[in-house]
Chains A and B, each alone.
Chain A
């Protein structure tokens, strides 16, 4: 399967027109120039799109792929209406399937499995909520722990646990060698 077909498949939920839009990138650099992440990292949005156009699979193992903060600035500004951020997400799905998920993203995934939250609540947030007159605990899995079981069911059913390498016995991530 070509990289383009894989991207289409992985971005199925977004629609073919959305994920295919990388084909019409004209390499103007509006995205990279607008990218808050690229200012402080080696992430070059345009280069990712460029390599996708060229069918360059090395993009899947490139740690840069995970430097996008999904702020959607490039998406908003792209003069060819390339759905950049959505495409990055679709490509990350392929990369994750092939075992290239970045460690911070794996850690976030493990929080979802363990608590139902990518960013679980902490004492500071609880205090802030109280000050604002809100219930200390929000009406999520924090308040309804039984809902966590539903989330875990989904995680198992979709093999998300295997993809991120979650060990149910230790309730933590398996160690992964850097590929």
Chain B
């Protein structure tokens, strides 16, 4: 009996590994070109301040190289039939037009060099450009290049095939295929989340000023391998004053997100800490509603951040406007009952976690329910892995916002549930 895992982020990777180590054959289906999910866009974890790469890369490799795991990247589940213990699954595997086995050393770099197309790089949230043939990120798994047919000129009008002249692995004739897998005992859904689009709060002027950015953009600047080589640079300058604004798209019924995103308080604390490390003389403030440092070691980390002279002022960001080179955050300090303005070189919006925009489509394929917010519905409050649909389990942010350790834990829990179910089916 085999098992299907949908989504190759922390929860899906951990679930796959646990299932495989228990002796089950696993099919891991990932929509993107690489494993890793959104966690790989993050540089350091909190509260340990350890590099996420040091954890994620081995996990991705272990999964990818596991003899019991078949990884299908750039793929999507398009059909599910049957029932617990015996699902039949259809997966659409899209072509990458690059046969990695035929790739010679450095031919990837040459191919990227000659490609004339430049489009915004999704991995770096548009902070730099990538080519139409590109490596998703520095430690993507599988490694090597892929061709994005949406931006490649060969697929637009046939006018270019330069990469194929320098790399023997290119095959423009690759076609998408449908993989059918039967004897699937259990399915684990771990499809993750989307970050909130701050343009839905126009008073924060996100699309108006270059120095109002999202936390994800800021995170990419912290990466030594990122678009700024680890330097915090806005409009060519290093900011000397930074304000972080909590709860952007969280705890906000106006944008249909009435829930707390759970991760923003702590990732902001970490980003503020790292900002202070990189720019020690910077003035850094955080505007917050309530500080939620609920995890093990989190409250202590919050204290460490305060010791770095990061100023926490209670009160959500009310509005943002530009003043010369500066951007001004206006808010009420709710403890002093005084409105105040903070004029800064950079404002970082701590955007919240949203259900994936395509989760309704997948819910339909799987026969799962979505809650009012759009997350997958768990069986009940005491069992957050099982669903109303027997044999289908959920883990990670697709069930509700959570951080990486919690996602890993729920991935393991879902795997244990799936193993239990498949054991019962076998006897």
Contacts and interface: CB of A to CB of B under 8 A. Distances in A.
Interface of A: 26-35, 38-39, 44, 46-47, 77-81
A33 B318 contact: yes
Interface stretch (B133-141, B248-256, B418-426): B248-256
B211 to A, nearest CB: 20
B252 A79 contact: yes
Given A33-B316, A34-B203, A28 B334 contact: yes
Interface string B313-326: 01111110000000
Contact of A79 (B254, B315, B330): B254
A28 B316 contact: yes
A33 B315 contact: yes
Contact of B289 (A28, A31, A39, A78): A28
B274 to A, nearest CB: 26
Interface in B242-262: 247, 251-254
B318 A34 contact: yes
B48 to A, nearest CB: 30
Interface in B213-267: 247, 251-254
B245 to A, nearest CB: 11
B427 interface: no
Interface residues of B, number: 21
A27 B254 contact: no
B188 interface: no
Interface string B276-320: 000000000000011000000000000000000000001111110
A32 B319 CA distance: 11
Nearest to B249: A79
Nearest to A34: B318
B331 interface: yes
29 contacts: A26-B289, A28-B247, A28-B316, A29-B314, A29-B316, A29-B331, A30-B318, A31-B332, A32-B315, A32-B337, A32-B339, A33-B315, A33-B332, A33-B339, A34-B203, A34-B319, A34-B330, A35-B339, A38-B332, A38-B339, A39-B339, A46-B332, A47-B337, A77-B254, A77-B318, A79-B251, A79-B316, A80-B251, A80-B253
For the complex of A and B, 7 pairs with smallest distance between CB atoms? A33-B318, A29-B332, A29-B315, A32-B332, A79-B252, A28-B316, A29-B334
Contacts of A38: 332, 339
Given A32-B339, A35-B339, A79-B251, A27 B334 contact: yes
A21 to B, nearest CB: 10
Given A28-B247, A31-B332, 20 more contacts: A26-B251, A26-B289, A27-B334, A28-B334, A29-B314, A29-B316, A29-B318, A29-B331, A29-B332, A29-B333, A29-B334, A32-B315, A32-B339, A33-B317, A33-B319, A33-B339, A46-B334, A47-B337, A80-B253, A81-B253
Contacts of A33: 315-319, 330-332, 339
B345 to A, nearest CB: 21
B332 A44 contact: yes
B202 to A, nearest CB: 10
A59 to B, nearest CB: 14
Contacts of A27: 289, 334
Task: Determine chain A's interface SS by DSSP, over half rule.
Answer: loop
Contact of B316 (A30, A39, A47, A81): A30
Contacts of A44: 332, 337
A62 to B, nearest CB: 13
Contacts of A32: 315, 318, 332, 334, 337, 339
A46 B335 CA distance: 11
B156 to A, nearest CB: 43
Contacts of A26: 251, 289-290
Contacts of A31: 318, 332
A30 B315 CA distance: 7
A157 B315 CA distance: 46
A39 B340 CA distance: 9
B198 to A, nearest CB: 14
Which of B203, B252, B318, B319 neighbours the largest number of chain A CB atoms within 10 Å of its CB?
B318
Contacts of A80: 251, 253
A58 to B, nearest CB: 15
B186 to A, nearest CB: 39
A46 B338 CA distance: 10
B290 to A, nearest CB: 8
A72 to B, nearest CB: 13
Nearest to A27: B334
B55 to A, nearest CB: 34
A154 B336 CA distance: 45
A26 B339 CA distance: 17
Contacts of B253: 79-81
Nearest to A44: B337
B314 to A, nearest CB: 8
A77 B203 contact: yes
Contacts of A28: 247, 251, 289, 315-316, 334
B98 to A, nearest CB: 46
Contacts of A30: 316, 318
A121 B317 CA distance: 41
A47 B332 CA distance: 11
Contacts of A46: 332, 334, 337
A78 B315 CA distance: 13
A81 B331 CA distance: 18
A29 B245 CA distance: 13
